[in-house]
Amino acid sequence: MIAANRILAPALLAALASLIAPASGVSQATVRGRVIDSEMGTPLAGATVQVGKSGPAVKTDSGGVFVAQNVTPGVIEIEIRQIGFEPGTFDIRIPASGVVQGVFPLDFNGYMLPAVVVEARAAALMPRYNDFEQRRQRKMGAYLRWDELKKQGVSSIGDALRTVRGVRMECDQQRFECYAHMARTPQCEPTWYIDGVEVHSFHENTPINDVYGIEVYRGAGEVPAEFAGSNAACGVIVVWTKSKPYR
């Protein structure tokens, strides 16, 4: 599935691409780019880069860098593919001559990669997710990680929670809103945490794309000490979001 087009607006273009004065006698431009992991910022070697519909197809080197020469001027589409990442499509403006430089981030999905590679990447993202992974190993509650959510094909937090045994989604038809309740304690609402901070409002239709993991504790007996409180008996739901500083 192709990722949504990312139009490089002037402000973003200034940050990601710079135009170098054209050399004399050059009638077509050169595109020099660096392809990176959008979450970790690491270079992606061996990615396939298609520059324009009929332009050259090149590969990135060990530093994630590609160079495409003799690129036709105008607004062109650059499509980048790499195993284990969502395909990326970027629209950029090519001048009549000179060099355009840019950084192109791809979103990790783990497809077709060995489990050991996915686990190693999760470990590399610690300590942000370290506590989540440790609790997940102890299996005191229900845990949904991004790769499991991806396989299930869920599109929202509510869809994900509907797969957890002991969790019920109750919808208010007049307000067009749905809320999670624990089957054991339907008379009260669970406490929500986002990235370790307690929040007082959260909607079931929140997109799942930027979620790293979800922890569900269905009663006081499952809730770990760091999330225990006066409402622990009503259950606790903890959502960890992905951090993508390179997007």
- Do 102 and 12 reside in the same domain of the chain? yes
- Residue 52, CB-side half-sphere exposure with 13 Å CA sphere: 17
Among 209, 41, 44, residue whose Cα is nearest residue 113: 44
- Do 194 and 101 reside in the same domain of the chain? no
Model confidence pTM above 0.85: no
Domain that holds residue 91: 6-106
Q: Give domain status of residue 247, yes or no.
A: no
Q: Give domain status of residue 118, yes or no.
A: no
* Of 55, 77, 106, the domain-final residue: 106
- Do 143 and 177 reside in the same domain of the chain? yes
Cα distance between residue 34 and residue 16, in whole Å: 10
- Do 138 and 77 reside in the same domain of the chain? no
pLDDT, tens only, 200-242: 666 666 778 778 899 999 988 899 988 887 678 889 999 988 7
Cα distance between residue 18 and residue 103, in whole Å: 10
**Which of helix, strand or coil describes residue 177?**
strand
**Which of helix, strand or coil describes residue 32?**
strand
Cα distance between residue 227 and residue 94, in whole Å: 52
Q: Enumerate residue ranges in the chain where pLDDT < 50.
A: 1-5, 7-26, 245-247
Q: Give domain status of residue 151, yes or no.
A: yes
Q: Give domain status of residue 112, yes or no.
A: no
Cα distance between residue 148 and residue 144, in whole Å: 6
